[in-house]
Structure 1
């Protein structure tokens, strides 16, 4: 089971709002993602357009999955910007993983600005059918014997 903590990025959001002043670097405020469960694994997809694939980092530590990536600002000194709305800097997102996750089996790919992470459910946490055994029909259950105290 995966748990998402919506408050883990509050500090980043506040920092992003405060850094929106003129002359300061702007950092990404948001890494949109989808998370779904397909059979025996979860699939997380995160939008990271314009991010250098070499900067994408995925880390699992103590039950927390951390995704980070970096978009480098354009370094054209002679440019006079008319509008500059694309964020640059480091993206970071963290998710708490439940106990039923196979962290050793997590795999990821990055294609066309989308990071796809496959998170398998641990074998011990998968749903399974329990076999019910039936006793021998010839065997009967003995009724308790009463002892006469007299």
Structure 2
């Protein structure tokens, strides 16, 4: 799994230098996530509280995993905001997948505001033990006698 995204890093650096914030009062800043490996698969957990499950999209294309979700803001007609800290809009996160991933078996679920994506390793990428043939068994051992 590769997490380096040079364009995101460049956008963050530019925004910091120009004094722009990384999110506005009503726009999402980021999609926090955890990524870890368990046995023969990776697990990605992304926090998406309040997101409509129907708006979540998990897509794999040419080795890139893309997560997209949308949270709608409450109607603003007749509303006088006192505080607006919950972001609304489209969340998007991309990860580059390595060569050893079985993209056909990636699965996802959404429960209690957390998107969980299971990313299995391909069979050829799983570690395996290689048996070593021994030549010290009884059949291959011969006794040589001197005459």
TM normalised by structure 2 equals 0.82
Map 1:4-23 → 2, pairs under 5 A: 4-10=3-9, 14=15, 17=21, 20=24
Kept in 2, the 8 Å contact 1:12–1:29? The answer is no
The corresponding residue for 1:137 is 141
The corresponding residue for 2:111 is 111
Residue 86 of structure 1: how far off its partner (Å): 1.1
Distance 1:39 1:8, change over 3 A: farther
Question: Within 1, Cα distance between the matches of 2:26 and 2:11?
Answer: 11
Kept in 1, the 8 Å contact 2:26–2:84? The answer is no
CA RMSD, Structure 1 to Structure 2 (Å) = 2.3
CA deviations 1:31-84 (Å, max 9, x no partner) are 000011000000000000111100000000000000000011111411111111
Question: Within 1, Cα distance between the matches of 2:10 and 2:49?
Answer: 23
Tell me the SS of whatever aligns to 1:68. strand
The corresponding residue for 2:84 is 84
Q: Which runs of 5+ in 1 are unaligned?
A: 140-150
The corresponding residue for 1:148 is none
Aligned length: 134
Kept in 2, the 8 Å contact 1:31–1:91? The answer is yes
Tell me the SS of whatever aligns to 1:124. helix
Q: Which runs of 5+ in 2 are unaligned?
A: none
TM normalised by structure 1 equals 0.80
Distance 1:12 1:66, change over 3 A: farther
The corresponding residue for 1:33 is 33
Question: Within 2, Cα distance between the matches of 1:29 and 1:19?
Answer: 5
